[in-house]
Structure 1
Amino acid sequence: MTYNPRSEQVVVRCELPPREVVPTTASYRYLPTKDEIRDIPRKPREVAELYRSIVSQVALPCLRDLFNADPSLGSIGFNGHVPAVNPVTGEQEYPCILSLEVARDAFPLDGNLHRVQPEACVQGLKAIVSNHPYELEPIQPIIDFDLTKYKFVEGLDAVATLDTRPDLMDMSPTNFEHLVRQVSEAQGAEGWTTEQSKDDGVDAVIVRRDPLVGGLSIVQAKRYSKVVGVSHIRELAGAMEEKKAGRGVLVTTSWFASGCKQKAHEHGRIELIDGNHLVYLIKEHLGKDVLIGIPNRPRSASER
């Protein structure tokens, strides 16, 4: 687990019971003619339903004990993982099959917990549960424990520093990184700006809670006056691999060289935002008219 004192939140990675905790034998039958006892197996569906219930029954007491341990704890991010061996590769894996984020005031009071129906309670807490937990079908955690790999700084309100029709090239690189973070936050994500020179290849981290398109993304913000080449795509891809990030976003005040879009498309999890698109996003989500003072930069119709 890790604790963020600023948000009074603990993020926990919990090892859930393995599938073997569910007995696959439902009952036994004695056969007098053969003088033997024969196993009556449970139906596969019943085994799967029992395991889903067990997962919920383990998660709820863990959350209760954490809240009881520290009265100042405001919320918990909980990710339940199961150790397993991939039957195809033989590699050891640790899939996440249950994830939730819950505030103290949304969690059932200790005296009521023994009266809840575990699966219904977990569902009511807006948890994401694998569709097939017994098959160890993995899910994307709502809030990733691996956020602890980044070194964050206090968020700066870069939007407040923008005057009427400001030039983004007049911003400091640090303020530009905060601005990019705020654009993401205005679109419904949560964002953090990393410390300078502490996270090579990462300027910001954004998390989306949507179970369909959510996950953790790392951001590179380039306040450049010249073209951004394919090498920057490779740099971002390397940072994503190192940080185990699901997605990457490359934002620039300039434009991308030919071949960048194809490279990003081939990678499959990289988004490119050039100067024209950035101007649009700032206008659309932050309500600010900005310009980018780069000679000969291709401009959108809204900037002309």
Structure 2
Amino acid sequence: MSISQNRAVPHSSLRNQVARNSITAIEPRIGIDWEGKLDDWIDVMLHKHETANKEAKKNRRRNQTEFQDWSFPTDQLCEQYLSIVKDRDECEIRVILRAFLFENARFAPDDRILKRGIREGFEFLDGHPEYKTRLLEQIGGRASPQPGVRWALDLLPAWPQAAIDAISAYLLAHDPTLPDGRAQGLCDAISIIRARWLEPAEGDRASLHELSPRDLECMVAALYRSLGYTAILTPESKDGGRDVIVERNTPGRFDHALVECKAYTKSVGVKIARELLGVVSDEKANRGVLVTTGKFTRDAHILAERNPRLELVDGGDLVALFCKRFGSHWRERREELMRRASNDPAQAKNDHTP
């Protein structure tokens, strides 16, 4: 498995990927013509969902029936919020995410589907047996048709990618029976999490250059462990041309890679890349990974293109990977992550985050 990851899918593309072969009727998108400012929408969201007085909340619900709080009312408001989300208060972000991600619920389309089933029979739900079971159990109050997904917030801020994966899996399983607006809200939640906790922040590249060579090796070992690898740090001196030895044994494939780390501000040249390839060949490893906090020369890139056993990870790639695996607060978590980079193979094998 390569340490490199695909770029994040843009918000608009993600919305378009949500299937629209729903068996539910599409609910009106109240608020789609919202003409207010983003700050106005945020103020109403906070006021509606943070009010402790239940009676006031009930009255407000009656007076604000046309306020859309299950997703962003328009793509324009969504894009505006994503552009500033890194600077917003985390409590505000959680209020919005809690509104988009729901607990066990029953939506209006569920009632319509239940009435249709009672009238015509439930054969049209044979492709959704679990949903049909929950729908029928709702009659006796034993279950809700739509299981909750708000628990994904428990993964934040430490494991943002795992939170995105959880919500994406929920969409994959439940989109056919979700109201259109609720599916839209889950997509919006994914976009918020990605923009807030996964996109590199200003100063991340500079933070890489604050790492000592050994710190960099420890961070890279922690990165591989987060991917499910056993990662062993070699001695600081006489490392044999590789700083971290990583292995992962999955059914049908054993991956054994040698990782060389260079805490450089300058570009890493082709000579170092060739030396790593030689060590990979001598030790009969699957591949070699050359990691730097800087960049690579053109000749190094050409060598990597010609040799599939060589992978190059520059500073930009490394920052993106740290954000993806450890969240945007990886800089604040550096000491913890480096401390966990033990040479104990047993611990190294089991010490990985989602």
| TM-score by shorter chain over 0.5 | no
With normalisation by structure 2, the TM-score equals: 0.34
Q: Choose between structure 1 and 2: higher helix proportion.
A: 2
Query: Greater strand percent: which structure?
Result: 1
TM score, norm. by length of structure 1: 0.39
